[in-house]
Amino acid sequence: MSNDENRRVMVAVALSMGVLVAWQYFFPAPTPEPSLVEVAPGEAAEAPAAAGTAAPLAPPPGGAIAPHELPLQLDRAGGVVSSTNGALRGVTLGDYKDAIHPLPFWSWLVAKATGAPGGEGGWSPYSGGDDPHGVVSLDGGVGLAGGGLLPTDDGPAAADGPSTYRVSQDGASIVALGAQANGLRIEKRFTPTAGAYAGELVVKFQNDGAETIPALWVGVAEQPAGDEPGFFNRAENIVHPAAFVDGDLETVTAVSELEGAELEEFKGTVSWVGVGDRYFLAALMPQELAPKRVLVDQLPSGRWGSFYVDDVALAPGQSRELKFKVFTGPKELGVLKDQAADLDASVEFGIFGFFATLLLWVLKFFHAGVSNWGLSIILLTLLVKLVFYSLNEKAYASSEKMKLVQPELQAIKDLYPDDQQRQSQETMKLWSKHGVSPLGGCLPMVVQMPIFFALYNVMYYSVELYGTGFLYIKDLTAADPTGIIPLIYFVLLVLQQQMTTMPNMDPAQQKMMKMMPFFFAFMMFSFPSGLVLYFCVNMFLTIVQQWLIRKKLQRTPATLAVATPQ
């Protein structure tokens, strides 16, 4: 491989890394094609014999039920159980505030110049962040339940109908008692339990009607906030349904795929169902781990959710209980693992999750010592650079060797201009003679790519950084409204590019390389500032590392004889 070819490989690797980061940001994973599940009212699902009959439910008191609600206090979280749908809603966290909203300076200038909203008065880089953070809004609900069809436009609106639940206090528990038009009585018992953000939900179904209920369902729904996933609005930032079924995390991020009677269906052992965004989750974990169904659907009110479905038919006069653990809190790995074995899968670290988890542990270790997440990011990036210093040194040395043998490679091309096979044979001999590996400059970069992407995911998905500040930045998970850190990254990227300028690169490659700093800097203006801080530190350390390695090689120059092949 010639020096020019080796440079092309290095450029291709660099561009591939950039494209992978950009692709993950700009183009979220496509939503699977929705499968239609048609269940006619009263149609019985195929199921084994119905469960045994339990004690009958007491009927709700007669007369109209006035809308009311009772508070439910969990450890570090609190909400209300409402008579509207008998579900837990309005859940806020005692130790997290609402996200701070940055107002980029350039956006404010444009709004002020055009008279658009947001340009009034002076520029303030941040706003909000004072109220307790809400995991489930008053429009959402944990523990929606019913029988038969889900409450879509084509089915009975059991969860979105009028106020049919009567809510009462029973010791530490809140009990919601209601009924569907088909004679299905539903009793929900919410009870706080030990553990942060945790509770228990027991749903008791009793069929007092004349028809068999083909299926029972319990789920979580929420009103999606913000726009559909798009160019600058990543899917993870929007509240979306999710579930863990048969060892796989299933998510649906585009509400446009769930209009009308369309829905997503997943079959297998269900570990949990819920809704969440990048940092927070509201989930139900069934205590019976058995093959079931999960449906993701949109309700007539615009809410969408994830529903656990029990397809064992409930005959008239029979009753059944479904028990769940409840979690409404942050996606903090330690907290999630304390609740259920698979709940930590909601943190979407991707295929390099093992490395990401390890790096997060190191990041938290540094934070325990310096008590600042910004400094912890700097220390973590420095540690990774030190670990891979030797590999990078070998890569740079290999690149320098390839430069030194370039005259001999060119001589081979001139000697055998029309014989590609002979060129390849002589090139291999030359590499063997001087101990040059064509992959020596690329292999170390390939080895480091899993760590690179794992670090990226740690910076982007770790709730530990939520609401934390560094220097003038008030929230490391929000974009930098001043644009200072992205501009620093742009300058460092240009400087690093100048240090690795390749004079023999063809004009098309040169133009592409010159555009890369603008391309990456453009992305950085919308990335979380903690992530941009990581990129800045990494780029600065890369420049220092290249300078040190170059100085070392200059002190001990490689001597390679340049001879024309015979």
Which is nearest to 184 in space by CA: 160, 217, 162? 217
Residues 6+ apart with CB under 8 A from 520: 18, 489, 490, 493
- Per-residue model confidence as pLDDT tens digits over 500-533: 655 455 666 666 767 777 777 777 888 888 888 9
409 and 283 share one domain: no
Name the percent of the chain in helix, strand, coil, to the closest 5: 35, 25, 40
Neighbours of 252 (CB within 10 A): 25
Indicate if 398 and 414 belong to the same structural domain: yes
In a domain, 547, yes or no: yes
Helix (H) or strand (E) holding 24, with range, is helix 3-26
Q: Are 420 and 305 members of one domain? A: no
Find the CATH number of the domain harbouring 262.
2.70.98.90
Residue 517 lies in a domain: yes
> Strands 319-330, 240-245: parallel, antiparallel or unpaired by DSSP?
unpaired
The domain boundary residue, chosen from 346, 372, 407: 346
- Write out the two tokens for 434: 């001087």
Dump pLDDT digits (tens) for 409-432.
777 777 777 777 777 777 777 666
Q: Domain residues for 492?
A: 3-22+354-555
**Which has the closest alpha carbon to 485: 358, 378, 357?**
378
* 46: nearest Cα among 246, 269, 212, 262: 212
Pick from 324, 346, 368: which residue ends a domain? 346
Q: CB within 8 A of 7, min separation 6: which ones? A: 502, 504, 505
Select from 325, 346, 367 the last residue of a domain: 346
Dist CA 37 CA 535 (whole Å): 46
CB atoms within 10 A of CB 12: 12
pLDDT in tens, the chain (566 residues): 433 443 444 444 444 445 444 444 444 443 333 332 322 222 222 222 233 333 444 444 445 566 788 999 998 999 999 888 899 999 999 888 887 888 788 777 887 777 777 667 778 888 777 888 888 988 889 999 988 766 543 433 333 333 478 999 999 999 999 888 888 899 999 999 988 899 999 999 999 888 888 889 999 998 876 554 444 445 556 788 889 998 888 888 776 655 544 677 888 888 999 998 888 999 999 988 777 888 888 776 778 888 999 888 889 999 999 999 999 999 998 888 888 778 888 888 878 888 888 888 999 999 999 989 999 999 998 998 888 887 777 777 666 666 666 677 777 777 777 777 777 777 777 666 666 666 555 666 677 778 878 888 888 888 888 888 888 888 888 888 888 888 998 888 888 877 765 545 566 666 676 777 777 777 788 888 888 898 889 889 888 887 887 777 666 654 444 444 44
Whole-angstrom distance, CA of residue 9 vs CA of residue 3: 10
d(C-alpha 511, C-alpha 518), whole Å:
12
Q: How far apart are CA 72 and CA 259, in angstroms?
A: 33
Contact partners, residue 171, CB within 8 Å, separation at least 6: none
Number of independent structural domains in the chain: 2
